[in-house]
Amino acid sequence: MGVRSRSSHRGSRRVAAVACASLGLLLVLAGCAGTPAQTTPARHVTVQSDSTALPGPRYAWFGLPALTAPEQDARVEDPQFRARLQAALDETLAAKGYRRVDDMAQADVLLAWRAGVRDLAQTTARSQPGASDTPMAAIECGRAGCSQLVVRGEAGTPVARLHTTTYTEGGLLVEAIEPKTVRLLWSAFNRGTVKAADATPQGLAAIARETLADLPEATTR
């Protein structure tokens, strides 16, 4: 299975089996909350592909339960948000030649998506006025306990100024599954900083196009 990344600046045993297989990438969002972020990330798309083309143009969606805290966030659980995101994905898929069907038995490929968000904080230290920020953890822990990190001058006095910036990180995972074998054919994980405008129909349309950019065009059938 090939894996590549690109950065951007701008019924149901089958379902249960796929649900277990699809958690890997999105679980990154549920990582150690105590680890400070080093940068505020732009969105980054990671693609896995086991096929140069999907089996056919007809696809059906199936739902997966929200299992991680970022997936259970009220912002992505909101029905209106989910409907807008679903519509954006459908529009992008139609532009690539895919046709949605409601009956999974008639689908050439099964598609699923997961979305999650979490709020993060980045702490930086500035050694002197006007200097660029240096990523730095606000708390350092050792055998003797935990203490706040500062930068000290030659006289031993603290000269660093710590400040924290908060931001929201989001992730969208889309997967294409072969219906009979439940084999993962293609997936894309779009992760990075999100803003309020990204939840609008226009913002979600851009995210959908970005996430599905490397999806092979539909084959005629």
Q: Each residue of 80-136: pLDDT tens digit?
A: 999 999 999 999 999 999 999 999 999 999 999 999 999 988 776 655 555 454 444
Residue with tokens 């277990």: 20
With 0-12 / 13-18 / 19 or more C-beta atoms within 10 angstroms meaning exposed / middle / buried, residue 111 is: buried
Measuring CA to CA, how many Å separate 178 from each of 26, 117, 207? 20, 28, 24
Q: What is the pLDDT of residue 34?
A: 37
What's the pLDDT at 78? Answer: 95
> Which residues of the chain fall short of a pLDDT of 70?
1-41, 124-163, 221
Q: What is the pLDDT of residue 167?
A: 86
Residue 47: strand pairing partners = 4, 188
Find, among 3, 82, 81, 44, the residue nearest to 192 by Cα. Answer: 44
Specify the CATH class of 12-29+44-118+168-211 in words.
alpha beta
- Contact call for residues 61 and 103 (beta carbons, < 8 A): no
Q: Is 134 exposed, middle or buried (0-12, 13-18, 19+ CB in 10 A)?
A: exposed
Query: Residue ranges of the alpha helices (H) in 32-188?
Result: 74-77, 79-95
Helix axes 79-95, 201-211, angle to 10 degrees: 50
pTM greater than the 0.85 cutoff: no
The per-residue pLDDT for 80 is 95
Residue-range domain boundaries for the chain? 12-29+44-118+168-211, 122-164
